[in-house]
Amino acid sequence: MTEIPEHLLKRSRDRKAGGASSDAGAAAVPATTEPAAPVARAAAEIPAQKPVSKPDAPHVAAAKSRGRIPYWAMGTLALMPIFLFMYVRGLQPQKAEASGPIAIGIEQYGACASCHGADGGGGAGRVLKDGESQKTFPHIEDMLNWVYNGTEAYEAAGVASYGDPNREGGAHYPRSYNGSAMPAQGSMAGGALTEYEILGLVCHIRYDISGADETGEWAEEYEKWCSEESAIFLGLEDGSVTFESLPGVGTAPRLGTSADQEIAAG
């Protein structure tokens, strides 16, 4: 065992006593290698709670003068999570089209796909793709009327066929496909779709599924009925236009027109 010299023990005792009494001061003063006694004395001379009379170290002063978040910035900062959310949303790819008849049609096509196939290839319902829709309906008006009404309304009204009576391959008459009926789609005829949704579906079927060329043969029809700027579509959407008010459409089942016939002006 080594003997600890008496002067060292005393210094240790002094230091403990001094350290204990200067705790408050020591907290404010950076750790130091100086003996505790002078610190204790300094703390005793300086009035308690006022260690600030000792100038701050430059980095402490800088931190204090840097100031808190200004109150006017609080609102902006509070919105940060929303900005972040919008930013992340913005990075995601946009849907092909946000509005217009075709976009509505794409959205609604699920109501038809179960019978007509996701690609219009047919099933319980007739084939809609590969130009079939334009063959049956050279005029979009007749297609709107058919989808609105469906098979039973045509039968009930005693209309012999729908679409072009001179259709290549023969006219399509009610239940001529597999004996089953096409359900009415128009909300006033017992279906679930509004008139602008029906126009959207018919546009989607003609131009996407059935492949009509909106820059060629069908450009005029496309502009008038199916483009995003279509006044008819916008009118149906805001209620200023109805099928009833559109020449050649209407809501009562009626015989369709062939390609060389004109739709009678309203």
Choice from 134, 149, 185, 227 touching ligand HEC (CB under 6 A): 185
C-alpha distances in angstroms, 3 versus 6, 7, 8, 14, 16?
9, 12, 11, 19, 20
Residues 104-123 binding ligand HEC (CB under 6 A) are: 111-112, 114-116
Select the residue interacting with ligand HEC from 11, 15, 175, 224 (CB under 6 A). 175
Residue 192 interacts with ligand HEC (CB under 6 A)? no
239 DSSP assignment: T
62 counts as binding ligand HEC under rule CB under 6 A: no
Taking the C-alpha atoms of residue 143 and residue 202, their distance in angstroms, rounded to an integer, is: 7
- Using the rule CB under 6 A, is 129 a contact of ligand HEC? no
Question: Is there binding between residue 149 and ligand HEC (CB under 6 A)?
Answer: no
| Angstrom distance (rounded) from CA 82 to CA 104 | 29
Q: Is 102 in the site for ligand HEC (CB under 6 A)?
A: no
Cβ(206)–Cβ(224) under 8 Å? Answer: no
- Cα-Cα-Cα-Cα dihedral of 102, 105, 106, 107, to 10°? 130
Interaction of residue 144 with ligand HEC, rule CB under 6 A: no
Tokens 């959310």 belong to 85
How far, in Å, CA of 42 to CA of 62, rounded?
25
Q: Say if CB 218 and CB 227 are below 8 A apart.
A: no
Query: How many chain residues bind ligand HEC (CB under 6 A)?
Result: 28
- Under rule CB under 6 A, residue 147 binds ligand HEC: yes
Binding residue for ligand HEC, selected from 104, 132, 149, 194, defined by CB under 6 A: 132
Residue 254 and residue 153: Cα distance in Å, rounded? 10
Binding flag, residue 183, ligand HEC (CB under 6 A): yes
Positions touching ligand HEC (CB under 6 A) are 111-112, 114-116, 124-126, 128, 132-133, 136, 143, 146-147, 151, 172, 174-177, 180-183, 185, 201, 205
